[in-house]
A and B are shown apart, each in its own frame.
Chain A
Amino acid sequence: DAGITQSPRHKVTETGTPVTLRCHQTENHRYMYWYRQDPGHGLRLIHYSYGVKDTDKGEVSDGYSVSRSKTEDFLLTLESATSSQTSVYFCAIVDLAQREQYFGPGTRLTVT
């Protein structure tokens, strides 16, 4: 599992509230990613990071921000949650030696 944990694993929140999801890795990987998974859409990239304080937008970044102040943690923030952000969120890392992405266990977020 490449030492990836996500917290919380489940969250229910109300529309308009801010929400922060955390991804933690223990193996010092440089690249980290946030995806959302929705039926009929597969996984879509929200934001990614290529180093501490280095981040970039993905395909569906509107309404989301990220921060990476240390190698092991990559935070995803929903600034003002909306019902359209109800989804399962997966964090991933890249093992550059194998050129493979490994995924965390996911966070199921429900916005009511």
Chain B
Amino acid sequence: AQSVSQHNHHVILSEAASLELGCNYSYGGTVNLFWYVQYPGQHLQLLLKYFSGDPLVKGIKGFEAEFIKSKFSFNLRKPSVQWSDTAEYFCAVNTGGGNKLTFGTGTQLKVEL
């Protein structure tokens, strides 16, 4: 079975700092990859997704992610974070069958003013 690892559980940054959150998955076949964000007290919202093609994908709110197949990674980046980016971020993978998602354990990001 596939698994997803997010090694950074808690990240604290100052406004305007750059962000990179790690995501690694374990599956040797074709994958679809996602990053979701959950603002405090809210449900999950899709930030971006990768299915195929250009491995650098851009999402909403200035986020982007790079798929590196050789490293089984799909790291999330943002050049300059804002206080409003404070949230929990989840990486997820879909390997087909039933469109099911396997999620990582999440990274709690706190952006300080």
Chain B 20-61 near chain A by CB (<8 Å), digits 1 or 0 = 000000000000101000000011111001010000000000
Is the contact region of chain A dominated by helix, strand, or loop, or is it mixed? strand
Q: Nearest A residue to B107 by beta-carbon distance?
A: A42
Number of interface residues of B (CB under 8 A): 24
Total residue contacts A-B, CB cutoff 8 A: 55
A40 to B9, CA, bound (A): 8
A48-B44 contact given A40-B105, A41-B105, A100-B49, CB 8 Å threshold: no
Residues of B within 8 A of A43 (CB): 44, 90, 92, 101, 103
A48 to B90, CA, bound (A): 20
A111 to B33, CA, bound (A): 34
Q: Which of B42, B45, B90, B99 has the most C-beta atoms of chain A within 10 angstroms of its own C-beta?
A: B99
Q: Does A52 contact B (CB under 8 A)?
A: no
Q: Name B residues whose Cβ lies closer than 8 Å to a Cβ of A.
A: 4, 6, 9, 32, 34, 42-46, 49, 51, 90, 92, 94, 98-106
Q: Name A residues whose Cβ lies closer than 8 Å to a Cβ of B.
A: 1, 31, 33, 35, 40-45, 48, 50, 56, 58-59, 90, 94, 96, 99-106
